[in-house]
Each structure stands twice: as structure tokens, then as C-alpha cells.
Amino acid sequence: RGIIDRLELDADGNLIVTDYKTGRAPGLRYEQNRLAGVHFYSFLCEEVLGRRPAAIRLMYLRSGEVITATPSAQSVRFITTRTQAVWKAVEKACTEGDFKPRQGPLCTSCAYQPWCPAFGGDPSLAAVEAPVRFGSLAAA
């Protein structure tokens, strides 16, 4: 997931990253959490374009509200460290063939749950049982 919605230069030639949102703007308490994805785009701009954006923005289309932040060396360093840690974990899981599932809030709506090891299921039965349970939907 993740596509930079708008990457532009302002009147002074500064790079600005804007992410358009269709939902409601978050309360002040949740703004920083919502900016995490746009901070990642800032990291990508540094890696790919060789320059840090002067500003990152979330633009809520319904209300017109704009939340703006300035990426810092510290915020980019944090994203870099986090990205490297995730990459190492992925490499380790691939090397060891160890992909442990974790239960989360989206599990309640997951059709795979009966076969998921996190719920005591057997994934090897999914290929046989899912077509029976879901009919042609699983075969499509």
C-alpha cells in the first residue's frame, strides 16, 4: 500500500508531499499517528530523489482541513531504522520459513480464520475445505 498522491515544488522550489484523504480529519490527539505514512513518503523522497521534503501534508477533501508537518533528520532517521528492522525481520522469516500469524482486529472479518494457525486451524486443509465452504467463490 502507499502511493504518493501529490509531489510538488512550492514557489521557493521546496519539495512538498501531499496525501489526500477522503475520511474525517483526526482529532488533535491522533494527528501524529496519521502522519506516519506521509513521513514514510518523506523517507522515500530522500532515498530516491536525494532531498527531504520541506513539508508533508494530509489534506482532508470533505472538510478542506490540512495537517502539515516538517520532516526532520530525526523523523527520517526513525523511519530508516524502523524500515531496516522490518526488512531484517522479513529476511529472517524467509530464510527460516517462519511466518507466524498474529491475531489482530481485522481477523474477525477474515474468511481464512477456520484454517489459520493463530486460531488453531490447519492451513493445509484450506485448499480442500474452502471450495466446499465457499463454493465457486473460492475457485474464482
- CATH assignment, 6-96: 3.90.320.10
State pTM to two decimals. 0.66
Would you list the domain boundaries of the chain?
6-96, 105-139
When pLDDT is cut at 50, 70 and 90, the band that residue 138 belongs to is very low
Tell me how far CA of residue 101 lies from CA of 11, 95, 96, 113, in angstroms. Answer: 48, 17, 15, 11
CA angle 11, 26, 79 (to 5 degrees): 65
Query: What DSSP designation does 1 have?
Result: -
Min mean pLDDT across 55-59, 83-87, 134-138 is at: 134-138
Question: How confident is the model over 12-38, as pLDDT tens digits?
Answer: 999 999 999 998 888 887 777 888 889
